[in-house]
Structure 1
Amino acid sequence: MSSLGIHPLVYRFVRYCLNRAYLDLDDSKLSADERYSLETILAIIRQAEDGWSTVDDVTKFISEELPKIYRQALERLPDKIVDELFEKVLNNCKDLDEVRTNPKLLNAIDSVFNELKEVKKRFIEESKTRIYEPSA
């Protein structure tokens, strides 16, 4: 933490990256249960902010926790909505000056894009062995 206080990214991740992505999301076709699941996923991400005090905390969250939350979202929601939400969150972050000027954070975001593809691939493979098929 600097003498000027907490780094702006610590609070902009939720307020800009997440909330803006959610506002741009068309959730009109979701069922009531799916809307509840979406709100739950958003709440998990918003609550994570309470534990952040540095950019490294945000970077660690993006690298380690976001793929796990993405997996949870795939289990509860249509994959198109999940992909759109997480892609918009990460792209919104890449728009921030605090991210564009931080190579470590930019690299973490780019790595997570690839990780999310792997998470989805594993999820689809595992889904093929289940009796219940996730909606397409």
Structure 2
Amino acid sequence: MKDMNHYGAFIQVADDCPVREAVIPVAKSDSKTIPVLQYEMIANHPYLYTQEDVLFEVFARRNHIPEAERKAARDRFFSKGQPCLRTSSLGKRYGWGIHHDEQGKVALYAVESEEYMNLMNDKRIKQFKAMRTNRT
């Protein structure tokens, strides 16, 4: 299985992100949305999870996969290509940059923060942009 994690990288917010200050995503109903789950995992536990951990855990929670079945489900999940965190609404819609440290662990930084600016201007780390919402 191919490693999907980024190492020493920063995902900046998308060029067409509609906010200039980061917004915490909120659930619209009883079930939590993908951005809410991603935000809670990363914001509540900075530099604990890798991109793969976040992508799979959100999938597992939304699909109610029991803990005992998660190892096999994770192998199946990553046996086909999965979109990376560049496609996350956190960077496309909500104004959060995603830093991947040297071990591939992720943390969030608000677009208006000094830390965001420092990471964005750090030439030692790879820079990516979150995917644009519009193709124009």
Query: TM-score with structure 1 length normalisation?
Result: 0.28
Pick 1 or 2: higher relative contact order, CA cutoff 8 A, min separation 6.
Answer: 2
Is the strand fraction higher in 1 or 2? 2
Is the helix fraction higher in 1 or 2? 1
Query: TM-score with structure 2 length normalisation?
Result: 0.28
Larger Rg: 1
